[in-house]
A and B are shown apart, each in its own frame.
Chain A
Amino acid sequence: MPDKNIIEVNNLVKKFGNLVAVDKISFSVKAGEMFAFLGPNGAGKTTTIKMLTTLLSPTSGEIKVNGFDPTKEKHETRNSFGIVFQDPSLDNELTAYENLDFHGNLYHVEAKLRKERIDYLLRFVGLWDRKDDYVKNFSGGMKRRLEIARGLIHHPKILFLDEPTLGLDPQTRNYMWDYIKRLNKSEKMTVFFTTHYMQEAEQYADRIAIIDHGKIVKQGNLRELKAATKTKSLEAAFLKLTGKEIREEQGNVKDRMRITQRAWGRG
């Protein structure tokens, strides 16, 4: 079934008090697809991902992830995906290797395969010689690479990547995306990602949804988006659809603290 929808979202809403973070969005992602979710800061991307991955319960609307309802069939849903979060999520008091090993264990990756993958991925993200160092001594970029490596230890049906390459240099970004693309092909892994780098979406996404102020303003493949906006690049299409005003990351105190932490390379 090549055209089976592995993610289906219908009229999904999330309110935080008076703030409508996600405003009745609907979309679907086909199995084996690479799907980009683009939008300015505060558009509602992370909130949507949190609802898809059982971390937040929706205010209303329906979700199906790999055929399961994340609000009711939490365990089955969790068995279907892997995720690289936007915010920091490592244990700073453990070493790089221990963080990955912990993850492999939680995801039931059998010991031999776990070691193989961890060794491979640590080399892949250039942290092999730092594997026994505590994560608290890592720079922001090193932590980010480690989080990506961690997300790739088990090979889930669906991989969520929330701004995975933020703050990484172009070389690293390229070879990470190539690796993810290969997994997408070889393992038929569906990839759902957000990014602020338009070129990443242009190059790797089969389909793209653009979200702004909690609403999806356009979705389709690259060609369709450019045609609909009469533009020549995704960047131009994006700006035309979302306007030129600069978005403050409003957020609550906690969000702002995290953002500051990350900006200072301590996240």
Chain B
Amino acid sequence: MGAVHVMWLRQIKRYWRSRARMIGMLGQPVLFLLALGFGLGPIFQAAGQGDFISFLSPGIVAMTVLFSAMFSGIEVIWDKQFGFLKETLVAPVSREKIMLGRTLGGATVAMAQGIIVLLITVLIGFRPTWALIIPALLFMFAIAFLFTSFGIAIASKLEDMQAFPLIMNFIIMPIFFLSGALFPLDNIPSILEIITRFNPLTYGVDGLRGALTGVSHLGFALDAGVIVALCAIVFMLGSYLFSKVEI
């Protein structure tokens, strides 16, 4: 087994062993789905925007993937504090491989969480176009990969979990709320439009929604191009910052 594989496997084992807790973390997206979906659905429909559950479901799946991926990445801080990180840092393995294994592990976990929520959306009435499920899963994976790398990049620069509330309120939440996960991007104020255009998740959500419902605002090509390019850039940035970690 190579280093990438063992790093990946470690994340999967940890996920499986804390599955009760991980399933518990799905409470939040499901609450969003139910409260907003059924609460705002009638208004959305009255405004001539169609079925809100269909619109919202891909956004909630993306939310789940975003949160799980960021948490997985930021977990590196725990490894730092509990000391396990030293074990990987002195290993005769390239930093890129360690980073890749860890990112793939976190991304797989985030995917699993996203798929569970996708199934829940189907249970409450979402009807995706199954024909494009493969591109949909690829978009989910890209979101997962991007934000796990991003989480690791952030964690590489931090000493402890004290900054976590700041990261939550000033990075994760804005990325989620300003991405078009919850509202359509047409006819929004131009300042908001500009902000959403600079938000990586916008492209992930739009691509995912395009694949699952056939309605995409920015177009598949742009969505896929931006998210893949960002995956590469943020992964390299994360590897670089990770290689600079000192204990």
Tell me if A106 counts as interface (CB < 8 A to partner B): yes
Distance in angstroms from A137 CB to nearest chain B CB is 13
A127 to B199 Cα, complex, angstroms: 51
Indicate if the CB atoms of A106 and B6 lie closer than 8 Å.
yes
Within 8 A of A (CB), among B162-186: none
Chain A residues 70-106 with CB under 8 Å of chain B are 75, 78-79, 81, 83, 85, 87-94, 98, 102-103, 105-106
Q: Which single member of A50, A57, A89, A91 contacts B10 (CB below 8 Å)?
A: A91
Given the interface contacts A89-B83, A105-B3, does A83 sit within 8 Å of B90 by beta carbon? yes
**In B73-128, which residues have CB < 8 Å from any A CB?**
81-84, 86-94
Chain A hits for B88, CB < 8 A: 106
Asked if A254 meets B92 with Cβ closer than 8 Å, knowing A56-B246, A92-B82, the reply is no
Task: Give the residues in chain A near B160, CB-CB below 8 Å.
Answer: 254
| Alpha-carbon distance A94/B15, docked complex (angstroms) | 11
Chain A residues whose C-beta falls within 8 Å of the C-beta of B87 in the assembled complex: 89-91, 103, 106
A85-B83, A89-B84, A94-B10 as given contacts; A75 in contact with B94, CB under 8 Å: yes
Question: Chain B residue with minimal CB distance to A258?
Answer: B83
Complex Cα distance, B92 from A105, in Å, reads: 11
Cβ of B157 under 8 Å from chain A: no
Of all chain A residues, the one with the shortest Cβ separation from B10 is A102
Contact A254 B159 (CB under 8 A): yes
Once A55-B89, A75-B92, A94-B13 are accepted as A-B contacts, the answer to whether A105 and B1 lie under 8 Å apart by CB is: yes
A28 and B10 CA atoms in complex are apart in Å by: 38
- Whether A106 pairs with B246 at a CB distance below 8 angstroms is no
CB of B13 within 8 A of CB of A55, answer no
Report A41-62 residues with CB < 8 Å from chain B CB.
Answer: 50, 53-57
Find B91's partner among A56, A78, A91, A93 (CB 8 Å cutoff): A78
Chain A's closest residue to B13 (CB) is A94
Tell me if A55 and B246 are in contact (CB < 8 A): yes
B86–A85 touching, CB < 8 Å: yes
A107 on the B face (CB < 8 A): yes
Min CB–CB distance B231 → chain A (angstroms) = 25
Report yes or no: A91 in contact with B84, Cβ–Cβ below 8 A.
yes
- Chain B residues 54-85 with CB under 8 Å of chain A are 81-84
Chain B residues with Cβ below 8 Å from A79 are 92
Known contacts A50-B247, A93-B14, A254-B159; is-contact A106 B82 (Cβ 8 Å): no
A108 within 8 A of B: yes
> Which residues in A have their C-beta under 8 angstroms from that of B17?
93
Measured in the bound complex, the distance between the Cα atoms of B219 and A15 in whole Å is: 54
- What is the minimal beta-carbon distance from B32 to any residue of chain A, in angstroms? 29
Distance between B242 CB and nearest chain A CB, rounded to angstroms: 13
- Determine whether the beta carbon of A88 is less than 8 Å from that of B93: no
Alpha-carbon distance A90/B82, docked complex (angstroms): 8
Contact, CB under 8 Å: A87 / B83: yes
A102 and B6 form a contact (CB under 8 A): yes
Q: Which of A234-267 contact B (CB under 8 A)?
A: 254, 258, 267
* A51 vs chain B, min Cβ distance (A): 10
Contact A108 B92 (CB under 8 A): yes
For B10, the chain A residues whose CB sits under 8 A away are: 91, 94, 102
List of A residues within 8 angstroms of B86 by Cβ:
55, 85, 87, 89
A57–chain B nearest beta-carbon distance, Å = 7
Given contacts A91-B10, A93-B17, A94-B10, contact A55 B247 (CB under 8 A): yes
Measured CB to CB, the closest approach of chain A to B210, in angstroms, equals: 38
Q: B: which residues have CB within 8 A of A?
A: 1-3, 5-6, 10, 13-14, 17-18, 81-84, 86-94, 159-160, 246-247
* 7 CB < 8 A contacts A-B: A85-B86, A89-B87, A90-B84, A92-B84, A102-B10, A106-B87, A254-B81
Known contacts A88-B82, A105-B3; 7 further A-B pairs (Cβ under 8 A): A57-B246, A79-B92, A85-B83, A90-B83, A93-B14, A93-B17, A108-B92
